[in-house]
Structure 1
Amino acid sequence: MAGAYDDRDGKIWMDGKLVKWRDANVHILTHGLHYASSVFEGERCYNGKIFKGHEHSLRLIRSARLLDMPSPLSADEIDAAKEAVLKANGFENAYVRALMWRGSGTEMGVSAKGNPVRFAVAAWEWGAYYGDAKWEGAKLDVAKWRRPDPLTIPTSAKAAGLYMICTMSKHAAEAKGFSDALFMDFEGYVAEATGANIFFTKDGEVHTPLADRFLNGITRQTVIGLLKEAGVTVHERRIRPEELDGFEECWLTGTAAEVTPVAQIGDWRFEIGPLSRQISDRYEALVRA
């Protein structure tokens, strides 16, 4: 599949039925477009099975609830919609995007409780998110923006509005020749990349930012579990930027990123070492089991 995302062959599940890809449209006065009343999930299907698909469905409902949107479907119904999309498009290995948003209705101001909550699922074939960086190591800029205080926005929701500074920061990074950007949190501690969590190693142990100020990724949680199963000590804590100079390896985790080693953050350099490769291999084996 190729071409613009609004001009492709295939089927998208939208509001209870499969529709032709090009017909999956919304009105210009959709509340989610104007006020970011939208949440989503990114998932990967490996060999015909979505990895932790039900967990993603449950998180989508929780994210919607945090934005004061009642889900029109149960998690089981969301699971069924995703399976229907994969079957209709004949995909065995694909990226799956589930989306819930406030649609057009009787209200078009900030308040929109009278507007319906809508739901859709699309899927497409998508390779390594960072391209060759999957093997050579991603290069990250340091974003000028910071992840917001949890008291200013529901940071535990996978909400569209939280990605505005991610797009801006990734564009700025790409203009400098980097793959992505690293955010600090509102207090200046290391947080995450634009769409992935981050890990570091030192003396055989792993350090990762405490995920109470940004999304605690499902892939992040999975990788922490794999590390602990392998007997590796994992420290979830606040990490100061100046500590990056003492870390040996670094990698990113996310549904799209999977496990991607990092070779550089700003002026800091990292080895693509044995633990990075080991956890990448273990994750690859798990998702394809």
Structure 2
Amino acid sequence: MYYNEETIIYYNGAFVKAIEANGNVYDQTLHYGYGVFEGIRAYDTANGVRIFKAQEHFDRMRFSCEAIGIPYPYSNAELIDISYEVLQRNNLSDAYLRPLVTCPPNMSLTKGRGAQLLIAAWEWGAYLGEKLLRLKTSSYRRISPKNFIVEAKVSGHYVNSILATQEAKDLGYDEALLLDMEGFIAEGPGANIFIEKDQTLYTPQLGSILPGITRATVIEISKELGIPVIEKQIRLEEVYNADSVFLCGTAAEIIGVESLDDQTFQKPWSESIGAVIKHAYKNLVLEKDYKNVHAH
């Protein structure tokens, strides 16, 4: 579903067919999960194909590499140009881009001795679908900032996400919600969370979560629309008592939540702030005006 015989990717300095690209089975990233990646979306806007917040995503990729000691010999302006060319060569407009930086063979537990770059793209609908989600509080906790650099988007961190998501699905739910090591809510396995209470949005403060670019965009939109946003430590009981809840992320975009641990929320999704944000976000990525969108 991600590629076919004609798919073109950018890999280690050249545009090549995906089926002809070769990795090394001794790569440090393959053995230890020591790599970083980004998830970026492109949209077919009225002004042509546009990659949403490309600069912010590649800036975070640089940060992630530097944070864990992977060399980053790239110009982000050049990577943005390459990303547009990947889209063009594959005749893609509404698409998901996956830049990935990996490390060459090194079996010692030391910093990367080099960097290898992949940029791929494919058509991908909203990662969590369009229907409201049934969440389950995970028995797994989010990785601790005392053990990892949680602000970095590191490949190996996502084993934690896989465990949480699969546990939720095995129990009959759509997705998981993870708590942090102190028992406050953190985020979904691949998305940040916002809760609405009394016409105010609340979201977990930075520290134990990935500082999502979509999360930052939701906060920007809220400020533009005059919706208060408070970042703080949030207990599970506060989510149960919320008026509404939604998740957000580049892959998921904005997706409403029907229930957490089978407890539903007070406000219908169609009347929630989240529904307003979802509409405004779609207008923003399509380069349409969203400032005339108002909360109920």
Question: Which region of structure 1 is more displaced relative to structure 2, 92-101 or 74-83?
Answer: 74-83
Q: Distance in 1 between matches of 2:27 and 2:216?
A: 34
- Post-superposition shift, 1:212? 1.9
- Post-superposition shift, 1:6? 6.5
Q: Distance in 1 between matches of 2:240 and 2:128?
A: 24
Q: 2:121 aligns with which of 123, 136, 140?
A: 123
Please name the residue that 1:91 is paired with: 92
Indicate if the aligned counterparts of 1:72 and 1:118 stay in contact, CA closer than 8 A: no
Paired residue total: 280
Q: 2:157 aligns with which of 159, 162, 169?
A: 162
Please name the residue that 2:291 is paired with: none
Fraction of identical pairs, as percent? 36
- Post-superposition shift, 1:75? 1.0
Unaligned runs of 5+ in 2: 288-296
Question: Which region of structure 1 is more displaced relative to structure 2, 181-190 or 260-269?
Answer: 260-269
Please name the residue that 2:68 is paired with: 67
Indicate if the aligned counterparts of 2:3 and 2:122 stay in contact, CA closer than 8 A: no
Please name the residue that 1:269 is paired with: 264
Q: Distance in 2 between matches of 1:245 and 1:65?
A: 39
Matched, 1:31 2:63: no
One-letter amino acid of the structure 2 residue matched with residue 66 of structure 1: A
Normalized against structure 1, the TM-score is what? 0.93
Please name the residue that 1:179 is paired with: 174
Indicate if the aligned counterparts of 1:72 and 1:119 stay in contact, CA closer than 8 A: no
Q: Show CA shifts across 1:161-184 (max 9, x none).
A: 111010011111111221110000
Matched, 1:232 2:227: yes
Unaligned runs of 5+ in 1: none
Give the secondary-structure state (helix, strand or coil) at the position aligned to 2:39.
Answer: strand
Please name the residue that 1:111 is paired with: 110
RMSD of aligned C-alpha atoms? 1.3
Q: Show CA shifts across 1:45-92 (max 9, x none).
A: 001111001110111010001110121211112112211211110111
Q: Distance in 1 between matches of 2:146 and 2:175?
A: 26
- Post-superposition shift, 1:111? 2.0
Indicate if the aligned counterparts of 1:155 and 1:214 stay in contact, CA closer than 8 A: yes
Q: Show CA shifts across 1:10-51 (max 9, x none).
A: 101011110101122211111101111100000100011110
Indicate if the aligned counterparts of 2:150 and 2:210 stay in contact, CA closer than 8 A: yes
Indicate if the aligned counterparts of 1:244 and 1:268 stay in contact, CA closer than 8 A: no
Please name the residue that 1:200 is paired with: 195
Q: Show CA shifts across 1:112-134 (max 9, x none).
A: 54x32111100000112122xx2
Q: Distance in 1 between matches of 2:41 and 2:3?
A: 20
Please name the residue that 1:279 is paired with: 277
Q: 2:286 aligns with which of 271, 279, 288?
A: 288
- Post-superposition shift, 1:8? 4.5
Q: Show CA shifts across 1:222-267 (max 9, x none).
A: 0011011111111100001111222010000100010000101113
Q: Distance in 1 between matches of 2:67 and 2:272?
A: 40
Question: Which region of structure 1 is more displaced relative to structure 2, 42-51 or 242-251?
Answer: 242-251
Q: 1:215 aligns with which of 210, 217, 235?
A: 210
Please name the residue that 2:245 is paired with: 250
Q: Distance in 2 between matches of 1:45 and 1:119?
A: 19
Q: Distance in 2 between matches of 1:6 and 1:96?
A: 12
Against the structure 1 CA distance between its residues 23 and 71, is the aligned structure 2 distance closer, same or farther, given a 3 Å change threshold? same
